[in-house]
Amino acid sequence: MTYCVGLNLRDGVVILADSRTNAGVDSIATFGKLHVWQQPGERVLALATAGNLSLSQSVVSLLNGGFVDAEGKEHDLLKATRMFDAAGVVGAAIREVARRDGEGLKQQGIEPNLTMLLGGKIKGRPTQLYMLYYAGNFIRATQDTPFLQIGEAKYGKPILDRVIRPDTPLLQAAKCALISMDSTLRSNVSVGLPLDLLILRKDEFKPALHRRIDADDPYFNDIRVRWGEGLRSVFATVPDPDWGV
């Protein structure tokens, strides 16, 4: 399993992904799950993946070179003129991989599963963020729901619900995403370091930050300690219930 979170805000996009794969307690490995495509002055697209690793790697391989689907239609992520169209290309790649491999996995007793986050910007268009499902369909982050999660989402959602708004500054949003990830790391062993973080400003065509965060990262370790101590401190100030027990 994994955990990835994307935020589409007034000032740009933030995407954070872990890198752990878990095929059992004795088969844990690290694979990067954040993939980035860039064309200087034209586009930046970032894709975070969760679910079956073989399926997600196959989707990324198709996207890297462009592909022709079973109906003979050509798809090229770098030729999409809108983020909506780029999401359509990713959805088509998911469906193509599902067509090739989905039934074979089921015959082996493996239920295929795959979700993805696609965020970024294409020239002349606003930054956008999409979540894609195994059927190739997708939804878009909105003003009402400016963040999307895939994988082990439940542990990191409360802090996002309380803090993230469309006008949250990008660095504060990145901090919130890291705290959301820390909550998940503490509660689920199938999510693990290192992390990959991308920050893209709305008017730029290269990431403002594309950083790998490992166990020795001083900032991440500092906010983990501060957040834990802060929660305990606030908890101590809340009065005990006066129930006569």
> Residue 24 has what pLDDT?
54
Residue 25 confidence (pLDDT) = 54
Residue-level pLDDT at 27: 60
- Res 155: pLDDT: 97
Question: What is the pTM assigned to this prediction?
Answer: 0.96
| Average pLDDT, integer, range 87-104 | 97
125, two tokens: 């268009």
- From CA 43, how far away is CA 29, in angstroms rounded? 31
The dotted CATH code for 3-237 is 3.60.20.10
Which residue ranges make up each domain of the chain?
3-237
Q: What is the pLDDT of residues 161-220, one digit of tens each?
A: 999 999 999 999 999 999 999 999 999 988 999 999 999 999 999 999 999 999 999 999
Report which of 134, 168, 129 is spatially closest to residue 149, judged by C-alpha positions: 129
pLDDT per residue over 1-29, tens digit each?
Answer: 799 999 999 999 999 999 998 755 556 78
- The pLDDT value recorded for residue 36 is 98
Tens digit of pLDDT for each residue in 52-76? 999 999 999 999 999 999 999 999 9
What is the mean predicted confidence (pLDDT) over 37-46?
A: 97
Q: For the chain, give the mean pLDDT.
A: 96
pLDDT at position 26 is 59
- Buried/exposed code over 101-135 (b: 16+ C-beta within 10 A; e: otherwise): bbeebeeeeeebebbbbbbbbbeebebbbbbbbbe
Give the Cα separation of 116 and 60 in Å (integer): 11
